[in-house]
Every structure is written in C-alpha cells, then in structure tokens.
Structure 1
Amino acid sequence: MIRLSDIEDAQTILNGRILRTPMLPAPKFSALTGAEVFVKYENLQVTNSFKERGALNKLASLTAQDRARGVIAMSAGNHAQAVAYHAARLGIAATIVMPVTTPAVKVAATRAYGATVVLHGETIAESQARAEDLHARHGLIFIHPYDDPRIIAGQGSIAIEMLDERPDLDCLVVPIGGGGLISGNAIAAKAINPAIEVVGVEAELYPSMWNALHGEDRPCGGATLAEGIAVKNVGKLTLPIIRELVSDVLLVSESQLERAVNAYLTLQKTMAEGAGAAGLAAMLKEPARFKGKRVGLILCGGNIDPRILASIMVRELERGEQIVSFRLTIPDRPGVLGQIATRLGDLGANILQVDHKRLFLDVPAKGARLDVTVETRDHAHAEEIMAALAADGYHPARIHVSDVMG
C-alpha cells in the first residue's frame, strides 16, 4: 500500500535535489482542444524526464552496503538516464540493460552519465530478462522502472506540485507504460482531491494496461514513436492502483502521437518525445471528452532523436498541405523546366526539390516525368497550383513527399 504520506516523504527527499519543474498554461493547446490546458514541464529535468524522481527516491533509500554492491536497471532510455545520473552523484556503480531499438541519443546520454550499458533484446521484456540474470549472478540491486513502491512514490510528487499550483484542476491526463507514473500521481491526486479525474494514455501498438483492465488480448508490439511507454508487461503493483483510481485508458495512434509532438514543438516551443506527448495526443483524439475542463498534462520526457523530430515536422507539413509533391508529364524540349519554374513562382509556390526523369515507359518517347516538391500556404493554395498546372496541360498527380525526398 502506497499512501499520500509516502509520496510526501519522497517529495522531502527530492526537495533541492531535482528541479521543481514549472507548470504553465497552454492557451494554444486550449484553443485546439476546447479545454483549459496546463502543462507540467518534466522535460526540463537534468536528464529531460520525470524518471529522476522515482530513481532518486529509490537510490537514496539504499544502505551503504547496498550502494557498494552497485545497481542494475532495464530501460528504453529515460529510467536508464535517471538511474545513471543519480547513481553517479551518489557514488554508486550502475549497469543499465537497454533494448537494441533504443534511440541512439538515449544510449549515448546514459553512457555519458557514467553507467555501463548493455544492449540486449528488441523489447523491454527481453531487456528485463537479461537484467534479472545479471542481478542474480552479480548480486546487484535491482532498480525497477515502475514496479517498486519508492519509484511510484517518487513519481507521485508531480501531482502534489501540480495541485499545489492549480488545486482547481478537473483532470490529469497521464501516459502509461508499466504504470509507475500514473499510479503515483493517481494516489496523490485522489488523496488531495477525491473528485479529480485521472485518465491514462497508451500507444495503440502497446495496449498492455488496456488489455489487463478489459480482459482483452489486443496485439502488443511494433515500432512506435512512444518507445518510452512501449511496455508489454504491466506492473503487479501498478495494475490494482490503476484499476481502482484511473477512470479511463485511451489508446492513441502513431499519427496522433506525431501530431502531438509537432504541436509541442511548433506551438509551445518545447521538445516532447512520443511518450511525453501522449497526453496531448489523447486530447487531440477526443477533444469532446475534455471540453470545458481544466486539464493538467505531464510532458514527461523530451528525449527524442533529432532525425525523428525532423521527419515528424516534414510529415506534419505534408499533412497540412504546406509541403506538396506532384508528378507532371512534360514535353522533353529546351526551356520547359524554366517555364514551369516561372509558373510556380508566379503562383507563389517555393520549389524545394525537382526530380527530372526521361527513361520511363509510362511517358511518351518525346516526353519526360517531372516530380516537384513545393512549399504552399495551405490546402486552398495547393489546389490552386494543381488546377493551374492541369490547365497548362501538364497532367499533375499528387504523390507523397517521401516518394520524392526519400
């Protein structure tokens, strides 16, 4: 049993040793969702995620003898960094087992904090099996990422801070992996305000908690943007807490996660990884469910691979038709490319890329295929450009940006 007093004790331990992160209103998110949205910026911790809270609370509880043995953990990245960072500060040797699919930025950061990194398995479950083996063989202290009372209590300190600043919150929307974050925060929030609603969010590809709560067996696996919550095994401690205190678990798609990551970057000017943006993704998916409520979001992590982030931004511009690609069939004679470039300029389109091909059997012998990617203002502008090119006799056909830009 984890009580509010345990979470308050954890808050005392954490005070002055981690950042009390800001919680700020997000009027642009409010406009998108119809709710009054507030964001808790846990991505501003030293290791850029909330995981420092639970990790430090657990590590601080170890005896001198336990610290001398060293610790081991398994993680897709954020727990790894938190354990590595605070173990180093406390003079404790740390070994971290990470899936081979972990983004390179998280592996590099974990090593930079001084931990020994072992890459093993495609999933957290496979990494856990290796970590448990090393734990048994070498007598290391196991620091579980979510199924530990002190980890759960540490994470719950977030809700205490949020409700200290905004006691009038109607709802918390919290990402779920193994369940440590939402369990701690549900315990704290419901103890402080029994009327508050706590809603969980999972990636559609990893509906492990959904399955456990609903007695279903939806497929669980695949490459997800939210690798931080890509967990197949729910916690033994966290499941009953979630069953009792969490009113609903929503599942979000990969495109919804992408949209939320992009919204954090373009609207809030802050970095969110897929798991960190899951709460917003749920609100964007079901705005009617939250309309008119005061909602607290936990931006729980900002460790995203820059290459993935760049790809998301381009994909979102394509979805918004601010980047458009089309294929033209043109006469293969001097001056045509110049005429098309001038025409696009006159239409207000900015050319990003051109691919000119002749040797295709689906174009006339005296013709060529031209793939063009341009910047546009919006959907209406894109349609105007397409109509003009059709009127010019170039038979434009829309294609995906990725087909052109690779």
Structure 2
Amino acid sequence: MSDIAQIRAAAARAKGHVRQTPLLSAPALDDIAGRRVFAKAEVLQLTGSFKFRGAWSAVSNLPAAERAKGVLAFSSGNHAQGVAYAAALHGVQATIIMPADAPLAKVDNTRFYGAEVILYDRKGGEDRNVIGARLQEERGLPLIKPFDNADVIAGQGTCGLEIAQQAREAGIERAEVLACCGGGGLSAGIALALEADAPQMRLRTVEPEGFNDTARSLAAGEICRNTGPEAGLCDAIVTPAPGQLTFPILNRLAGAGIVVSDDEVRAAMRAAYAHLKLVVEPGGAVALAAALYHGAELEGDTAIVTLSGGNVDPDLFADILRG
C-alpha cells in the first residue's frame, strides 16, 4: 500500500527527471465556473501526461538486475508512453500491450520512445491481463501496472505534493481538488499527498458518463464494475473498475465522485484551448468540465483541477474545436 513516505521518496527520485508543472488560472474560466479555478497543467509533463510520474517512479525503483531485463506494461496510451520513455532513459527495453483501437498518435508515440508495441483486440474480447501474464512467463519481465502498483501511485502522488505547495504559494487555503479518474492512481496519490500537506483540501474524482465505476463505488462503499463497452470519447480513463490498491485510499479520503457528459468534456477542451492556450485530450479534460459545469456539486469558492493529459488525435481535436 502506498503512503506519504513512498510519495516523498518518489519525489526525491523524480528530481531532475520529472517536470514540475504549473498551476494556471484564467479570469474567463472563473467566470464560467462561478468560482476560482486553478488548473494543474500535466499536459506539459514529459510524454504529455501525468503518467510519466508513475512510470518514472516504478522503473527507477526496480532493482537494477530486474530492471536490466526490460519492463512490461499494458495501457491504452498514456501509461504506455510514460513507461516507454522512462525505460528508454534507463537504457532498457519496454514491451507495451496496447488495444488495437487506441488513438494512433499514442501508439506512434510509444513506438517513438523505443518500445515494442503488441496490439490486441479488446473489442473482440481479447484480455490484456492474459496476454501480459503469458509475456511475463515467457520473457521474465517485471510488469508495471497502470494504476494498481504502489510505486506508480506514489509517483502520481508527487503531483499532489506540487499542488499543495503551489496552492500555499498562491495563498489558497481551502479548495476542492478535482482529479480525472480511471483506475484511480492519480486520484489516490493526490489524496494521500493532500492528507499530509494540505488536509483542508478534499479530493474529488471525476469520470465520464457510462464509465462512472469509481463514483458508484464510493457511493456504495465497495468496488463496483462497469458492464458497458471498454471504449469511449475519454479513452484514457475508461477502466472497468477502480483498483484493489487505489479504492481503499479513495474510499477513506475522497468526497463523492462527479460524472460529466461527453458534451461537457468537449466544451471544457475548447475552454482550455481558448483561455489557457493548452491542448487537452478528452480524458484529461473531465476535471475541468466538472469545475465549469457542475458547480452545484462543489463546496467553497475555489476548485483545483488536473489537466491530466494532452495526447489527443489531431483530427478529433480539430473536430471538437469546430464544435
């Protein structure tokens, strides 16, 4: 189980390797939301998303002899890129299992960082866990899971340490901290960091409609699974259920989950581009959508949101900007 000590250790390993991303604001966003909105711009992180934090944490904390074999991961794109680049910086090979319907830009970027990409047909029923288990047995590679990995959660928690520090520097004492949520690695890591360094702030998870497993799980007090499709507009965060490691943390520390529509996500992407001049992918925009369009579900006069990734297909982004 990850804890604040592991997060601080991950932060120490991250120095000089992981970017400290800015906390941004814009008057127009405040006006739309009816409260102050600050955006943690993880779209500016290496590989274009917060996932590099967890990937670096996990790869850097592997014993050298084990890491030398190479690493294995499965992902729809952002974790894939993060692990691929972290492995390359450590001089080892990454093997990444990705769905065949993942955005082409994410597949191409993963290959650019030197990884071997193995595609599977998730729509046809292929199971990445089965493929991963087979490759682990055949090649003896350590598997770095996208969220249910203590080192990954600790790495994502470094984002929370930065939020707490930057909020203090900006004179922010209380805020709702809204995090884009798939399996819960980022949300759980931030929640642990806030508990230690900004206990007056509350973590809220945000998910797209149809993939609200975490919101339902938090309401029920136990893990609930999605039964619908495994793909949607917000491809980066359409996991079937919160993680076995992440959910207990969220169940203890997070407020009620928030669920946003695809139309609200598209509007948030346009708002981020217009007012922050940032490119945000759909899954990375859900927290901003919650701040802008679900104000009645929030408390207080300040919201801090994660813009968790910017690896969007150019044609899709152009279509969304055109409205």
The Cα of 1:68 is off from its aligned counterpart by 2.1
Question: Partner of 1:78 in structure 2?
Answer: 78
Deviation at 1:133, TM superposition (A): 2.0
1:246 aligns with 2:268: no
2:193 is matched with which residue: 188, 204, 219?
188
Q: How many residues align?
A: 315
**Distance across 2 between alignment mates of 1:148 and 1:35:** 35
The answer for unaligned runs of 5 or more in structure 2 is: none
AA in 2 matched with 1:161:
E
Higher percent of residues as strand: 1
Give the Cα separation in 2 of the matches to 1:217 and 1:66.
33
- Is the CA contact (8 Å cut-off) linking 2:225 and 2:240 kept in structure 1? no
Q: Give the Cα–Cα distance (whole angstroms) in 2 for the partners of residues 217 and 128 of structure 1.
A: 16
CA contact (8 A) 1:272 1:301 kept: yes
2:176–2:300 contact (8 Å) kept in structure 1: no
Question: 1:51-81: CA deviations, max 9, x gaps?
Answer: 1111101101112211222111000100000
* 1:274 has 2:282 as partner: yes
RMSD: 1.8
Q: Highest relative contact order (Cα 8 Å, sep 6+), 1 or 2?
A: 2
With 41-50 and 124-133 compared, the bigger mean Cα shift is at: 124-133
8 Å contact kept, 1:34–1:292:
no
1:11 and 1:157 in contact (8 A); partners too: yes
Per-residue deviation, residues 256-309 of structure 1 (Å, max 9, x unmatched): 111111111122111000111010111233122336522111111000001001
Q: What corresponds to 1:221 in structure 2?
A: 229
- Cross-structure match for 1:92: 92
Match of 2:304 in 1: 296
2:144 corresponding residue in structure 1: 143
- Structure 1 counterpart of 2:46: 46
1:56 equivalent to 2:56? Answer yes
Query: How far apart, CA to CA, are the structure 2 residues paired with 1:189 and 1:291?
Result: 17
Whichever residue aligns with residue 280 of structure 1, its letter is L
Partner of 2:213: 208
How far residue 220 of structure 1 moved from its aligned partner, in angstroms, is 3.0
CA distance change for structure 1 residues 218 and 108 in 2, over 3 Å: closer, same or farther? closer
Does 1:131 pair with 2:125? no
Question: 3-state SS of the aligned residue for 1:275?
Answer: helix
Distance verdict in 2 for CA 1:233–1:133, change over 3 Å = farther
CA distance in 2, matches of 1:108, 1:203: 26
Quick one: which amino acid aligns to residue 70 of structure 2?
G
Deviation per CA, 1:139-180, whole angstroms, max 9, x where unpaired? 111011100111001101111111111132411000110110
What is the rounded CA distance, in whole Å, between the counterparts of 1:169 and 1:157 in structure 2? Answer: 19
Q: 1:286–1:249: structure 2 CA closer, same or farther, 3 Å change rule?
A: same
Look up the equivalent residue of 1:140 and give its one-letter code: L
**Whole-Å separation in 1 of the counterparts to 2:122 and 2:68:** 31
Kindly provide the amino acid, as one letter, of the partner of residue 317 in structure 2.
L
Counterpart secondary structure, 2:48: coil
Counterparts in 2 of 1:306 and 1:156: CA distance versus 1, 3 Å: same
TM-score normalized with structure 1 length: 0.74
Percent identity, aligned pairs only, is: 36
8 Å Cα contact 1:29-1:37 kept in structure 2: yes
Q: How does 1:213-362 map to 2 (within 5 A)?
A: 213-215=218-220, 219-221=227-229, 223-290=231-298, 292-314=300-322, 316=323
**Of 163-172 and 174-183, the range deviating more from structure 2:** 163-172
Query: Which is higher, the Rg of structure 1 or of structure 2?
Result: 1
Q: CA deviation at 1:8?
A: 1.0
Range with bigger deviation, 1-10 or 235-244: 1-10
> Which residue identity is paired with 1:301?
G
> Which residue identity does 1:126 align to in structure 2?
D
Residue 29 of structure 2 aligns with an amino acid whose one-letter code is F
Q: Is the 8 A contact 1:26 1:39 kept in 2?
A: no
**1:96-141 C-alpha deviation (Å, 9 max, x unpaired):** 0001110000000000000000111226983233222211222111
SS in structure 2 at match of 1:147: coil
| Cα separation, partners in 2 of 1:130 and 1:222, compared to 1, 3 Å | closer
Return 205-214 or 279-288, whichever deviates more: 205-214
Write the letter of the residue equivalent to 1:313.
Answer: L
Note if contact 2:25-2:38 (Cα within 8 Å) is conserved in structure 1: yes
